[in-house]
């Protein structure tokens, strides 16, 4: 059932035509032959225990709608370390504190990189942010900037007045809505966006209609949907072309362009020599200053800055486990 649900999300019914089905069947035959050859070679490896799997999809059908519970049941049956074949992606799952320490601490350098998700390649400027960029000199450079300049205790404390002012504004908005109906979800959304925008961008967009003009809430909701969920290309890299057929690729490109245009306006405004810089500089100021005065051996490009802005903004807004900061 879970597999059928994933396939419905990945391939809308209106896109299925006789020619599409014929091409898909041919592709599945090729993939099946490729996987059978791969499995014969992989049989020589000393892999952890693995549940039985189906051709092509491997163990995808065993994950269910709540993967963490499904993995818990599989681990209880096959042990604290198991091997799963998720489509074309071989995956090792650990479910004990001892093995988690081995992965996250003892062998962290070998296992610290994240897979390049199909959505992340489009949304995060070819994975040049701190979350999805591979471990290496660039990632260490970006991490150092984030820890010392963006997420230090001093920097966070310097914006306490922003949080206090926005909480006061939230309380005032709730009071002004009395005795009518209070849309608390919308007001909390305004609060979160206002704190985010003032800390990250140096401006409050909820006034003078700018909030609706930029459509922050819809942009971040679309971002969260596109980054999460089942993506065929993540489990079957050889079938990434299917996202073009389903329209998922154009949806990603459209969302990326909206963020990119907004960041262009934001950076242009911060580079304006006539702009009055506040005493508490924002995230964009910090990154632009770092670009200007940073190390010459690894300069930051504008795309790098935009990628960090996006993931920092999303993490401050608390969106999605896949976009959690990897520090």
**DSSP code per residue over 44-100:** TS-PPP----BTTTBTGGGS-SSHHHHHHHHHHHH-SEEEEEETTEEEEEE-SHHHH
For the chain, the distance separating the N- and C-terminal CA atoms, rounded to the nearest angstrom, is 36
> How far is Cα of residue 324 from the mean position of the Cα atoms in its chain?
7
Q: Which residues of the chain have pLDDT under 50?
A: 1-4, 6-7, 319-327
Q: 254 in a domain, yes or no?
A: yes
Side-chain half-sphere exposure of 169, counting CA atoms within 13 A: 18
Q: What is the pLDDT of residue 41?
A: 52
Distance separating alpha carbons of residues 106 and 211, to the nearest angstrom: 46
Instruction: Identify whether residues 233 and 158 lie together within a single domain.
Output: yes
Confirm whether pTM is higher than 0.75: no
Which domain range does residue 263 map to? 137-323
Q: 123 in a domain, yes or no?
A: no
User: Number of folded domains in the chain?
Assistant: 2
Q: What is the pLDDT of residue 132?
A: 87
Give residue-wise pLDDT tens across range 49-72: 999 988 888 998 898 888 889 999
CATH number at 296 reads: 1.10.630.10
Q: What is the pLDDT of residue 324?
A: 41
Instruction: Identify whether residues 102 and 150 lie together within a single domain.
Output: no
Tokens of 128: 């040049």
Q: What is the pLDDT of residue 25?
A: 66
Q: What is the pLDDT of residue 31?
A: 59
Instruction: Identify whether residues 59 and 182 lie together within a single domain.
Output: no
Distance separating alpha carbons of residues 21 and 7, to the nearest angstrom: 14
Distance separating alpha carbons of residues 258 and 243, to the nearest angstrom: 20
Side-chain half-sphere exposure of 82, counting CA atoms within 13 A: 20
Q: What is the pLDDT of residue 321?
A: 38
Q: What is the pLDDT of residue 245?
A: 85
Give residue-wise pLDDT tens across range 272-301: 887 766 556 788 888 888 888 866 567 888
Torsion-angle region of 126 (φ positive above 0: left; ψ -120 to 50: alpha; else: beta): left
């Amino acid at each position: 059932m879970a597999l059928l649900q994933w396939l419905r999300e990945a391939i809308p019914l209106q896109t299925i035509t006789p020619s599409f089905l014929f091409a898909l069947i041919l592709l599945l035959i090729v993939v099946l032959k490729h996987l059978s050859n791969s499995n014969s070679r992989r049989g020589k490896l000393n892999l952890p225990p693995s549940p039985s799997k189906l051709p092509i999809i491997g163990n995808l059908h065993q994950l269910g709608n709540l993967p963490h519970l499904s993995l818990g049941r599989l681990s209880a049956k096959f042990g604290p370390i198991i091997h799963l074949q998720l489509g074309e992606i071989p995956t090792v799952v650990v479910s004990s504190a001892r093995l988690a320490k081995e992965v996250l601490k003892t062998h962290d350098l070998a296992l610290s990189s994240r897979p390049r998700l199909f959505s992340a390649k489009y949304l995060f400027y070819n994975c040049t942010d701190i979350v999805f960029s591979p471990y290496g000199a660039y990632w260490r450079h970006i991490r150092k900037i984030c820890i010392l300049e963006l997420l230090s205790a001093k920097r966070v404390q310097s914006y306490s007045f922003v949080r206090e002012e926005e909480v006061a504004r939230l309380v005032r908005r709730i009071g002004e809505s009395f005795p009518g109906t209070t849309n608390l979800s919308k007001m909390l959304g305004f609060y979160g966006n206002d704190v985010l925008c003032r800390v990250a961008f140096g401006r409050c967009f909820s006034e003078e209609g700018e909030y609706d003009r930029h459509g922050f809430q819809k942009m971040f909701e679309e971002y969260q949907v596109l980054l999460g969920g089942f993506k065929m290309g993540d489990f079957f890299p050889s079938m990434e072309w299917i996202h073009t057929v389903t329209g998922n690729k154009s949806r990603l490109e459209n969302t990326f362009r909206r963020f990119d245009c907004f960041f262009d306006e934001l950076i242009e405004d911060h580079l304006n020599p006539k702009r009055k810089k506040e005493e508490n500089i924002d995230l964009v100021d910090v990154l632009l200053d770092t670009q200007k005065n940073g190390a010459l051996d690894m300069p930051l490009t504008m795309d790098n800055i935009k990628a960090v802005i996006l993931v920092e903004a999303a993490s401050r807004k608390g969106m999605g486990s896949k976009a959690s900061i990897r520090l």
